[in-house]
Amino acid sequence: MSDEIPLGTLFLLLGILLTLSAFFSGTETALMRVNKYRIRHMSRKGHKGAKLAEKLLKEPDKLIAFILFGNNLVNFIAASIVGVVSMKIGGPTGVALGTFLLTVIVLLFAESAPKTIAAIFPEKIALKVSILYYPLVKMMRPFLIIINFFTNIILKIIGSVPSQRDEQLSIEELKTLIHEGMTRTSKDRQKIMMGVLDLGNVTVEDIMLPHNEIIGIDLSDSSEVNKKKIEQHLYSQLPIFDNVLDNIQGVLDLTPFLKKIDLDSFNNAIVLKHIKKPYFIPEKTTLSQQLFEFKRKKEKIGFAVDEYGNIQGLVTIEDIFEEIVGDYLEETKKLNNEMRPIKDGEDFLVNAASNVRSLNKMMNWEIPVEEAKTLNGAILEQLGYIPDQGYEITLDRYKIIIVKTKENAIQTVRIKETDPDYKLKAV
């Protein structure tokens, strides 16, 4: 029968089959590479192609089975035609040459080129082809179910079970989505989302109130001294200790305490009757874990301890919430108090006692630190001594000029970004 078909017709048919092969290859890449979240958004807006693409991508196994079946079918027929044509033209030698040429043509024009184009324009291709694919996949659904059934059996035999883990996004992927997919979202909302995602990377040690800054009731002090502490400080909960903080006795919740006790009759003995047990936290605990523990144990304040059990700092549930949402008014106030721009915002005059992590967060900087928490500490970490006024030091891409010092610390510095392609700016 093949002898009755003109060579011209066979070549035409071969061209059609190779075009279909390229179509299947390209559309497979487009549908697998398309941004599913963008498709979902467009679907919610009523885009017909996006709606169909979303439905197809809910069952990727059936979609891939359909595409592979179609691609292999047309390639098989194409190979058969090449065999017939080659035999007519060149005999057995022609068959070998024809097979080689077909392999090269399929590789270049039916695989590599269409997949590359599809990878560049996945959304455009996916939205259009979904209109064609959806009814075909739906029509062939029973056949595709059978194919996938046997495919899964083979996968189980070789020990590879399909998993949903590939559909899950990593933290960094989610951050990328927030940056790229939420360009119209306010900076504050993006900041909150980033704060939530960072909870697993930030530890209690990073945000705790340091040991030397903890204010509490020392039972070795007189009742009058401790009475003044309660009157002068606005903290709702105060640590109660005896002589040293490591000898912690408990925590005093001032709100119910002041409702029951008249400060005129205050004494240290009364305090001990109203304290609750201290709650200790390993300083390396992540904020995501600690937020869960605060909720589980119904605690609001905890003492961060090192591996030897020594108290290193204090953290509250409010501190973790502030890490997530930020206190924007306080941040603005703090920004104004600790730094100010000079020279059209290219240089900044900064209080060296400022927390480096807070500066990086507020100003979109990346000043490197190791163990130090303050800018003063970061500079001393690098130098090993207190520099004179006017001394210049470079930390990564930041040039820092010492403006003012005192005997035991750096007070004020001037910071300038040395990378011309980067602009320092407040968030």
pLDDT tens digits for 167-182? 444 545 545 544 544 5
Nearest CA-CA partner of 301 in 195, 212, 214, 206? 214
247's enclosing H/E stretch is strand 244-253
| Least confident window among 80-94, 108-122, 409-423 | 409-423
Residue 161 in this model has a pLDDT that exceeds 90: no
Tokens for 307, please give them: 């591996």
- Flag whether 180 is in a domain: yes
- Of residues 34, 81, 76, the one with CA closest to residue 54: 34
Cα–Cα distance between 159 and 153 in angstroms, integer? 10
Q: Is residue 425 part of a domain?
A: no
Half-sphere exposure of residue 321: CA atoms within 13 angstroms, side-chain side: 8
Q: Identify the three-state secondary structure at position 423.
A: coil
Nearest-angstrom CA–CA distance, 342 and 128: 54
- In 3D, which of 406, 413, 344 has the Cα closest to residue 374? 413
Contacts of 185 (CB under 8 A, 6+ apart): 178
Rounded to whole angstroms, what are the CA distances from 163 to 151, 157, 166, 205?
14, 15, 7, 37
Model pLDDT for residues 17-64, shown as the tens digit of each residue:
999 999 999 999 888 888 776 788 788 888 888 889 888 888 888 888
SS3 content of the chain, % helix, strand, coil (to 5): 60, 15, 25
CATH number, domain containing residue 334: 3.30.465.10
- 394 in the same domain as 284: no
278 & 339 share domain? no
Q: What pLDDT score was predicted for residue 304?
A: 92
Alpha-carbon gap, residue 199 to 324, rounded angstroms: 8
Task: Answer for the pair 195, 326: CB distance below 8 angstroms, yes or no.
Answer: yes
- In-domain check, residue 306: yes
Q: Are residues 48 and 9 in the same domain?
A: yes
Q: How many structural domains are present in the chain?
A: 4
Domain termination residue (choose one: 325, 344, 368): 325
Q: Which domain does 157 fall in, by range?
A: 2-167
362 part of a folded domain: yes
pLDDT digits (tens, 9 = 90+) for 282-337: 998 888 888 888 888 888 899 999 888 899 999 988 887 777 666 444 554 455 55
Residue at a domain's end among 277, 294, 325: 325
In a domain, 422, yes or no: no
- Residue 113: phi and psi, rounded to 5, are -60, -50
Residue 370 lies in a domain: yes
Quick one: pLDDT band at residue 106, thresholds 50, 70, 90?
confident
Among candidate residues 292, 310, 325, the one where a domain is terminated: 325
Is residue 164 predicted with pLDDT exceeding 50?
Answer: no
CB atoms within 10 A of CB 239: 22
Residues 28 and 152 in one domain: yes
Please indicate, yes or no, whether residues 309 and 397 belong to a single structural domain of this protein.
Answer: no
* 191 and 252 part of one domain: no
Q: Distance between CA atoms of 102 and 129, rounded to whole angstroms?
A: 26
Tell me: do 43 and 60 sit in the same domain.
Answer: yes
Residue 424 lies in a domain: no
Residue 53 and residue 128 in one domain: yes
For residue 129, the model assigns a pLDDT of 92
Are residues 385 and 289 part of one domain?
no
pLDDT per position as a tens digit, 252-290: 888 788 778 877 788 888 888 888 999 999 998 888 888
Residue matched to tokens 């359909």? 66
Largest CA-CA distance found in the chain, in angstroms, rounded: 116
Taking residues 198-214, report their average pLDDT. 81
Question: How far from chain centre, in Å, is Cα 320?
Answer: 18
Please tell me the predicted confidence (pLDDT) of residue 177. Answer: 47
Q: In this structure, are 160 and 13 located in the same domain? A: yes
Q: Are residues 226 and 312 in the same domain?
A: yes
Hey, CA dihedral for 26, 27, 30, 32, is it positive or negative?
Answer: negative
SS3 of residue 140 by DSSP: coil
How open is the CA angle 130-134-138, to the nearest 5 degrees? 165
426 lies in a domain? no
| C-alpha torsion sign, points 308, 309, 313, 318 | positive
**pLDDT (tens digit per residue) in 333-351:** 455 556 666 555 567 888 8
Q: For the domain that residue 266 is a member of, what is the CATH number?
A: 3.10.580.10
> What does the alpha-carbon distance between residue 426 and residue 363 come to, in Å, rounded to a whole number?
5
Residues with Cβ within 8 Å of 165's Cβ and at least 6 positions away in sequence, in order, are: none
127 shares a domain with 244? no
Q: Could you tell me if 369 and 395 are in contact, meaning their C-beta atoms sit under 8 angstroms apart?
A: no
pLDDT for res 341: 63
